[in-house]
Amino acid sequence: MPLLSYDRQGSGPTLVWLHGFTQTRSSAHQFRSILAGTNELLTPDLPGHGSAAQMSATLDETADLLARALPDEPVALGGYSFGARVALHLALRHGQRFSRLVLLGASRGIRDSAERAARRQRDEALASRIEAIGTEAFLDEWLAQPLFASLAPDVIERASRSADPRGLANSLRFSGTGTQEWLGPKLHLISVPTLALAGSNDAKFSREAEAIASGVENGALHLVEGAGHAAHLERPEPTARAIASFLLNE
């Protein structure tokens, strides 16, 4: 597979930030701009998205692709939702490459194997629907979910979303939550300082963040007040401020 490409912006200690499902390295423009004030921000396109839309990869394969593409010296690693699940796999497979870990809206996966299989079936059905109706119609449906009910429309953010329906469909097929191994028993293997974040209004992922913070060796929990699942889009300044403070070890 070819190397994943990424953008650079800002200056300071390096932070690799991994976008969520349907997003690209150009997404979260306000959030990235704030973080770039204190950090050199590296933002790659993940398989199935943006410039990597033609690539299909599992979570483990994506982790290995990123390990090949990123700088050799230890850097901080962070991600949102799908990107946070990739970051977890990176930390478990290539932990020595990273100095700190930031997980926003992360999931450890699905513990029950039957529920995991059912999720794979739902993801396959969703993948087929993306291919059938196209990206724009799918994004309308995707962003209408209760998960994003508190997310205000943003023309710039919408334009940054990935446009390739086949890429998004294959992202679900190869690295959707249903494909993910249950990572709960492995969290203790992550020894780098880890910040688990979620929006305070996102009950499910707030519980996940609490479990991750308590499961890793050196974890901290932060809930972004008044935000839902996409806390970095809904409240970019307090989310970025919490991350910047953590990266500065404050």
Torsions phi, psi of 242, nearest 5?
A: -65, -40
Beta-carbon contacts of 81 under 8 Å, excluding residues fewer than 6 positions away, are 20, 21, 104, 105, 106, 107, 229, 230
Structure tokens belonging to residue 37: 């004030």
Alpha-carbon gap, residue 180 to 41, rounded angstroms: 27
Place of tokens 């290539």: 94
Alpha-carbon gap, residue 90 to 84, rounded angstroms: 10
What domains lie within the chain, and their CATH numbers? 6-247 (3.40.50.1820)
Beta-carbon contacts of 66 under 8 Å, excluding residues fewer than 6 positions away, are 4, 16, 18, 44, 86, 90
Segments in the chain below pLDDT 70 = 1-3, 250
Alpha helices per DSSP H over 54-202 = 59-69, 82-93, 113-133, 135-143, 155-159, 165-175
Quote the pLDDT of residue 5.
86
Quote the pLDDT of residue 3.
67
Quote the pLDDT of residue 250.
56
180 and 112 Cβ atoms separated by less than 8 Å:
no
Q: What is the mean pLDDT of the chain?
A: 96
Quote the pLDDT of residue 1.
57
Closest CA to 147 of 17, 16, 20: 20
Quote the pLDDT of residue 69.
92
Quote the pLDDT of residue 196.
98
